[in-house]
Structures are given as structure tokens and as C-alpha cells.
Amino acid sequence: MTKHQTAPDGVESETGQLAEADWIARYVQTDGGGDLVHSIRDLIRTGRLQAGARLPTVRVLAPLLGVSPATVAGAWSRLRDLGLIDTRRRGGTVVTDTGTRETARADSPDDHSWDLAQGLIDYALLPDLGQALLAGSREPSAHRASKEHAIPSLIAAVAPTWPFRPEAWSTAGSGTEGTLLAIEAAVGEQRLLAIESPTSPRLLDICSTLGLELIAVECDGRGPTPSSLRTALERRPAAFVYQPRAQVPLGHAVDAARLDELARLLHESPQTQIVEDDFIGPLSLRSAPSMGALLPERTLLVRGYCNTYGIDLRTCVLAGSSRLIDRTRKLRSFGAAMNSRILQGALAWLLTDTRTNAAVDHARQRYAARRSALRELLLARGMSAQGDDGLNLWVAVPHEETAIVALAAHGISVASGSRCHVGPRTGEFLRVSTARLPDSAEALRRIADKFATLVNLQAGQSSRQLA
């Protein structure tokens, strides 16, 4: 291999210089500068980026990551502070000696890196799909030319769990696709949408994809607040989107009394359609009432099943207003206009199988135990952590970006709270994914200790600055 030939990992063998900036882009997370720091640190720690490797320039890398040059420059600055890279006048930015890297790793909980940022489920808790797919392959309507957006066996399996009697049923390829279709059908030609804040980054990404203008509706422990929704409705939004249970990132559910308050306000704004995003589906600890029982002609409920049964099932259920369901079907008509009847049949089988339901119950309790355990440990250490349901905690910190970088240095990646806000953020928070937390009480204590040590250190620094 000559001096400028490229090794398979994208690094020139002789000089250590990155041959292609897009190699880095394939391996990093870009959910804010903190995640970029953590991703580069992982590449260094695992040896994919070795001592002496040159990093691409800020101007070259930023467009490939879809972030601003300032974000990359800030990440490089934090990596320098951690002793992982160095910027030289003529040599560019290079990875420094690996001894620093190994020292940082030795301080991580149980000598292990914990990814509490990406919101990934625990694959070990998924039920087996073998029998379900076999049952789906025997669906009588399979291979027929007619379109069946929701087969009878699936409707029969889902209906007992639905919080209202919908006018129409349909399916989509995933919870995210279902919610995108529902929002697009609800807003129509208008581009103004009211949405709870803070909310799931996934929902904000959908809204960004659709090019929507957003109005923030503030939340408390019971869901969107009536006063904030009233203010939002004064601007006559085309639709209102909220999560009825296991809300990301706050973890609350909307109770019947709060739902009635919100419905009364929406009744006075007949132009506003309603989309309910039930992304966690059967893994939620709570059942939540639906606006569909009060305003059926304007409501769509989207329920995801991928977190429960795995993404390869590729089936979520939409139900509610027949007018809005018709719009979602038209939006799909030039693509995969109908979900596979085999996959629909597989989901119907899973929803009614006794052993599968027992496995889902077990997964639900395991997820809840992990989330609750970390929350209690954080509260016991004087921290503020919200999350009564779902797969996340919402943790208050003195300074978000500093917290992300400091935790990354100890092998813990967390997500940026600022990505959950519509408009200016209120407070400094971390979104902590809890689905893949360890079950070991000792490992959880060590993780909680790292959070608490960090917060106390930051609080002390802030006090000294004020003094």
C-alpha cells in the first residue's frame, strides 16, 4: 500500500490522516455537540481513530453531519479539554496519545460504556416472531388484488384495547410513518401546528420534514396545560399533536379530567384536528383516555408496536376519523399503499397469543423497574428526575452541554434536552433513555453516583462564579 492509499477503515496507513470526512459521518451521532464528542471519543477508545490520526476540518465535516461549523468547533474544543485531540499550527487537528484515552475509560461504570442517548429497546425482551409470521402467512386474504388497509383479524385483536370506537381503521409501516401520515393528513394545505413542549425529538423531526410552523403548548405532570393550549388555539392551528401516555420526555399520562378540559377548548376551535401519538403502545404501564371519545370526527390515534414486538413487524395501527383515515390512505397511494397482510396477520396473532402477552408483561415490568430504580437513586442523591412511565427520564442539570461532555468522559452517553423543546428551552435538562439500563443494583448505583457527582460539581462551580 502506497503512502496515499486508503485502508478499509478510511484512514491512510502511513500518515494516519482521514482520507474521507464522510467516513466519520457514518460513525457518529449528531444529536447536538455532546453526542458528537461522545461518538468521536468512542472511535478513539476502540482504536478506529488511533494516535496521530488527523481529523477533517470543521468546514468539511459540518455539512456532512448536518450541523453548523460552530457545533463541530465546539465539540473539537471539548475533546481537547478531555485530552483526546490536539490542534497544531501546521499539522491540523490530530488524535493524541492513547494513554489519556485508557485512563478516561478506566473511570467508567463497571468499565463499561452505557448508551443512554439513542432510545434503543432491549432486544432480549422481544417475543419470538416465528409462530406469528407463520400464522400471518396463512392469512386468507394474502395475495388478493384488493387493498385491505386493516384486515378483520387485526381489527378484532386491537379493538378491545382501543380507548374509543373509531369510525375507520388503517395501518402503516411503523409508528413514525403512521404519525407522519396522520399529521400530514390533519394539517392539509395549512402549515401551522400546535404541539406539546417539551416533546419527542422524533415528532419534531417529522414536523421538520413536513416543513411545519410550530406553536408550543406547555406541559405539566398531567399533560398539555389548558391555558397554554388556549393561547395556541388563538392562532388557529390546523392540528394539535400530543402524546396521551408515556410522554417523551416527561413520562406522564393525560388523565380524564385534563382531557375534558382540553376537549372543551378544542370544541371551540373546530378547524383544529387532533393527532394522538401512542408510540410506546403495549409497553406503557397506563391506559389513557382518548380525545376520540369526545371529538371522534376530528381525532386520529396512532399506536406503535415496534417497541413491543420489534421493528421487523413493520405494522402500526391508525384509527379514528374516517375523513382523516381516507387522507392517510391517499397519501400512501403512490407508494406502499397497503401494509402487508401477512404482517398484519402476524400482529393480530401476537396480540391474542397468551404466551406472547406474558412475555410483553414481563418486558413492561423490566423496563419499568430499570427506569424507576435509576429515578429513585437520582432522587435520593438530591437530583430532579421525572418519568413515571415509558423508556426515558428527564433529568435537570445546571448546564446541559457541560453535563453531556462530562458524562461522556465517564462512559455514559445521554441525549440533549434542548432537542425536545419547541422554541426557546426552559431550563437545562438531559433526556436519559432507560430501556437498556443494567439490572445490576451495583451498576445502577455507580451510574447514579456519576450523575450526582457531576451535578454537585457543576453546582459548586456555579456558586463560586456567583460569589
* Tens digit of each residue's pLDDT (9 = 90 or more) over 61-105: 888 787 777 778 878 877 887 778 887 766 678 887 554 443 334
C-alpha to C-alpha distance for 362 and 365, rounded to whole angstroms: 5
Question: In this structure, are residues 263 and 399 in contact, taking their beta carbons and an 8 Å threshold?
Answer: no
DSSP per-residue codes, 94-128 = EE--HHHHHHHHHTSGGG--EEESS----GGGSPP
Write the secondary structure of 299-351 as one string of H (helix), E (strand) and C (coil). EEEEECCHHHHCHHHCCEEEEECHHHHHHHHHHHCCCCCCCCHHHHHHHHHHH
Run of H or E including 385: strand 385-386
Question: In this structure, are residues 325 and 168 in contact, taking their beta carbons and an 8 Å threshold?
Answer: yes
Which residues, 6+ apart, have CB-to-CB distance to 461 below 8 Å? 398
How many residues are present in the chain? 467
DSSP SS3 for 40: helix
Instruction: Give the count of beta carbons closer than 10 Å to the beta carbon of residue 90.
Output: 4
Q: Candidates 3.40.640.10, 3.40.50.880, 3.40.50.2300, 3.40.190.10; correct CATH number of 125-355? A: 3.40.640.10
* pLDDT number for residue 13: 35
Question: In this structure, are residues 117 and 430 in contact, taking their beta carbons and an 8 Å threshold?
Answer: no
C-alpha to C-alpha distance for 331 and 315, rounded to whole angstroms: 17
Which residues, 6+ apart, have CB-to-CB distance to 378 below 8 Å? 385, 393, 395, 448, 451, 452
Cell of 73: 468547533
Cell of 133: 409470521
How open is the CA angle 74-71-433, to the nearest 5 degrees?
A: 100
Question: In this structure, are residues 273 and 238 in contact, taking their beta carbons and an 8 Å threshold?
Answer: yes
Q: Cα–chain-centroid distance for residue 430?
A: 13
Spans of all domains in the chain: 21-106, 116-123+356-466, 125-355
C-alpha to C-alpha distance for 129 and 356, rounded to whole angstroms: 9
C-alpha to C-alpha distance for 142 and 136, rounded to whole angstroms: 9
Cell of 149: 388497509
Q: Per-residue confidence of the chain (467 residues) as pLDDT tens digits?
A: 333 333 444 444 333 344 346 667 766 765 544 567 777 877 777 666 777 777 888 888 888 787 777 778 878 877 887 778 887 766 678 887 554 443 334 344 445 678 898 788 999 999 999 999 999 999 988 888 778 899 999 999 999 999 999 999 999 999 999 999 999 999 999 999 999 999 999 999 999 999 999 999 999 999 999 999 999 999 999 999 999 999 999 999 999 999 999 999 999 999 999 999 999 999 999 999 999 999 999 999 999 999 999 989 999 999 999 999 999 999 998 777 889 999 999 999 999 999 999 999 999 999 999 999 999 999 999 999 999 999 999 999 998 888 888 888 788 889 889 889 998 878 899 999 999 999 999 999 999 999 999 777 665 554 444 34
Helices (H) and strands (E) in the chain, counts: 17, 15
Question: In this structure, are residues 358 and 222 in contact, taking their beta carbons and an 8 Å threshold?
Answer: no
Kindly state the DSSP code that residue 214 receives in the 8-state scheme: E
Nearest CA among 17, 109, 126 for reference residue 443: 109
Q: Cα–chain-centroid distance for residue 409?
A: 23
* Tens digit of each residue's pLDDT (9 = 90 or more) over 48-64: 677 777 788 888 888 87
Residue 450 vs residues 284, 407, 456: alpha-carbon distances, Å: 28, 7, 10
Kindly state the DSSP code that residue 245 receives in the 8-state scheme: S
DSSP SS3 for 92: strand
Rg (CA), the chain: 24
Cell of 119: 432510545
CA atoms within 13 A on the CB side of 372: 9
Nearest CA among 125, 108, 124 for reference residue 116: 108
- What is the CATH code for 116-123+356-466? 3.90.1150.10
* pLDDT number for residue 11: 41
CATH 1.10.10.10 for domain 21-106, yes or no, is yes
